[in-house]
Amino acid sequence: MTPGSTAVPALPSPRTPDPLAAPALNWGVLGTGWIAERFIGSVRRHTRQRFAAVASRGAARAEEFAVRHDITRAYGSYEELVADGSVDVVYVATEHTAHLTCARLALEAGKHVLVEKPLGINAAQAAEIARLASDRGLFCAEALWTFFLPRFDVVRQVLDSGMLGEVRSVLADMGEYFDPAGGHRILRADLAGGPLLDLGTYPVSLATWVLGRAETVQSSGVQHPAGVNGQVGAVLNTERGGQAVLHTTLFGDTPTTATVAGTEGTLHLPGPFYHPGDVLFTPTGGGTPRTYTEPRTAHEGLHFEATEVARCIKNGQLETPLRPLADSIATMRVMDEIRHRCGIDFPGE
Ligand SMILES: NC(=O)c1ccc[n+]([C@@H]2O[C@H](COP(=O)([O-])OP(=O)(O)OC[C@H]3O[C@@H](n4cnc5c(N)ncnc54)[C@H](OP(=O)(O)O)[C@@H]3O)[C@@H](O)[C@H]2O)c1
């Protein structure tokens, strides 16, 4: 707020460009799992992007997926797809431990990449992907869809405007119950399971984005009977006295909200905070709250990341300012430290 002013500023509107106005690129998709389905559905319904090819480790699976999603070409290996000259950009929709291999395949074949979150299973892998892209002059981004949503552009403008005053505190969590008998990959140690990379990446990304580099990281974890970490709580402290209290779990559905508090006001993101949804601003000490409201359309919001990628590639940009690779690597560094503090190792580390 301007010094001396008594008016509480209204929440700004999102500046997100019209998804239908983004230049149309030809996409190739690596992997045929849960997120690939949702990404393709959302992008098809809201943009002019085209899906030229899909690849799976199994030819029959690729064929079935291509028919179901009306995709022109189906490949029985990831190598064949990245060699397809009609593909402009590759969307890596494989499980965490395959991100580095798939991103490297695509980049070495000269393709731009959008890699599902997290960029790699640790900061070293994330940095390697960033280096491979930069060495070749190719676009690369982590598909952390939250940062591309109109809701988060409102948050971005509130943070940039200084409306919150000096921000010292971030509270965020993400928890979801996973049935131990359900066979989900999140329960598999060989696929870097546990809540941190799938769910915890959202609160950690928010905290590192808002508060900057964490100087100290403390954490405490609880084991899951499946042999992975089951839940973890973490406290991050920054040099300037910022603090984040974060939690993620597989043992239950937690509120999955986020709060950013400053000397002049508090921003609250009702759960799930990483989906499309509202933003609430409450001035410190009372006053009129301000709200940004939008439909809670969940994964229907996945298309915003695709259109940002298309615009960046057409403009010759190698990264997007909405989720710079340095931020993806910084998030991974904190997650490495959280794991280190409570003894969580991933395959090959
Ligand atoms: N943005 C979001 O909201 C969101 C939501 C969920 C997941 N994700 C991210 O997306 C990625 C995929 O998650 P998902 O839930 O879609 O997983 P999923 O349903 O298990 O699909 C993962 C795909 O990875 C491929 N794959 C490659 N190597 C594999 C291996 N060794 N074992 C198993 N699968 C392997 C498989 O495709 P083929 O068999 O066809 O080769 C599989 O279908 C994860 O990194 C996750 O963090 C993002």
Q: What are the residue boundaries of the structural domains of the chain, listed by start?
A: 19-145, 147-297+322-341
Neighbouring C-beta atoms of residue 5, cutoff 10 Å = 8
Tell me how far the alpha carbon of residue 56 lies from the centroid of ligand 1, in angstroms.
11
Residue written as tokens 């100290």? Answer: 216
**Range 192-218 burial, b when 16+ CB lie within 10 A, else e:** bbbbbbbbbbbbbbbbbbbbeebeebe
DSSP lists the bridge partners of residue 87 as none
pLDDT category of residue 4 using cuts at 50, 70 and 90: very low
Taking CA atoms, 23 is separated from 50, 51, 53, 311, 320, in Å, by 10, 14, 18, 6, 15
Q: What is the mean pLDDT of the chain?
A: 96
Closest C-alpha residue for ligand 1 atom 34: 95
Closest C-alpha residue for ligand 1 atom 18: 33
Q: Residue 96 CA: which ligand 1 atom is closest? A: 45
Q: What angle do CA 161, 281, 246 make, to 5 degrees?
A: 95
User: DSSP labels for 155-202?
Assistant: HHHHHHHTTT-SEEEEEEEEE----TTS--GGG-GGGT-SHIIIIIHH
Angle between helices 325-341 and 201-211 (to 10 degrees): 120
pLDDT of residue 6: 47
- Whole-angstrom distance, CA of residue 243 vs CA of residue 201: 17
pLDDT of residue 10: 74
Tell me how far the alpha carbon of residue 99 lies from the centroid of ligand 1, in angstroms.
9
Among 29, 34, 191, the mutation site with the greatest number of ligand 1 atoms within 8 A of its Cβ is 34
DSSP class of residue 137 equals: T
| Type of residue found at 280 | L
Cα–Cα nearest to 217, from 233, 205, 234, 230: 234
Tell me how far the alpha carbon of residue 101 lies from the centroid of ligand 1, in angstroms.
13
| Type of residue found at 250 | L
Q: Higher confidence at residue 9 or residue 40?
A: 40
- Whole-angstrom distance, CA of residue 120 vs CA of residue 267: 30
Tell me how far the alpha carbon of residue 86 lies from the centroid of ligand 1, in angstroms.
24
Is the pLDDT assigned to residue 158 strictly greater than 60?
A: yes
Closest C-alpha residue for ligand 1 atom 42: 33
Q: Which fold has domain 19-145?
A: Rossmann fold (3.40.50)
Tell me how far the alpha carbon of residue 348 lies from the centroid of ligand 1, in angstroms.
19
CB 133 within 8 A of CB 312: no
Closest C-alpha residue for ligand 1 atom 43: 33
Q: Which residues line ligand 1 (CB under 6 A)?
A: 31-35, 56-58, 61, 93-96, 98, 116-117, 143, 145, 185, 198
Among 30, 32, 35, the mutation site with the greatest number of ligand 1 atoms within 8 A of its Cβ is 35
Is the pLDDT assigned to residue 1 strictly greater than 80?
A: no
Lowest mean pLDDT among 132-146, 243-257, 261-275, 278-292: 278-292
Q: 243-258 pLDDT, tens per residue?
A: 999 999 999 999 999 9
Mean pLDDT for 149-167 is: 97
Q: 127-138 pLDDT, tens per residue?
A: 999 999 999 999
Tell me how far the alpha carbon of residue 96 lies from the centroid of ligand 1, in angstroms.
7
Class of domain 147-297+322-341 as given by CATH: alpha beta
Length of the chain: 349
Tell me how far the alpha carbon of residue 161 lies from the centroid of ligand 1, in angstroms.
38
Closest C-alpha residue for ligand 1 atom 23: 94
- Whole-angstrom distance, CA of residue 231 vs CA of residue 177: 11
Q: 292-337 pLDDT, tens per residue?
A: 999 999 999 999 999 999 999 999 999 999 999 999 999 999 999 9
Tell me how far the alpha carbon of residue 16 lies from the centroid of ligand 1, in angstroms.
28
Q: Residue 32 CA: which ligand 1 atom is closest? A: 40
Contacts with 102 (C-beta within 8 Å, 6 or more apart), sequence order = 30, 31, 78, 90, 92, 94, 115
CB 345 within 8 A of CB 206: no
Per-residue three-class SS string for 259-315: EEEECCEEEEECCCCCCCCCEEEEECCCCCCEEECCCCCHHHHHHHHHHHHHHHHHC
Tell me how far the alpha carbon of residue 97 lies from the centroid of ligand 1, in angstroms.
9
Taking CA atoms, 38 is separated from 31, 41, 242, 300, 312, in Å, by 12, 5, 36, 8, 22
The DSSP element (H or E) to which 133 belongs, if any, is helix 123-136
Tell me how far the alpha carbon of residue 33 lies from the centroid of ligand 1, in angstroms.
5
Q: Residue 143 CA: which ligand 1 atom is closest? A: 1
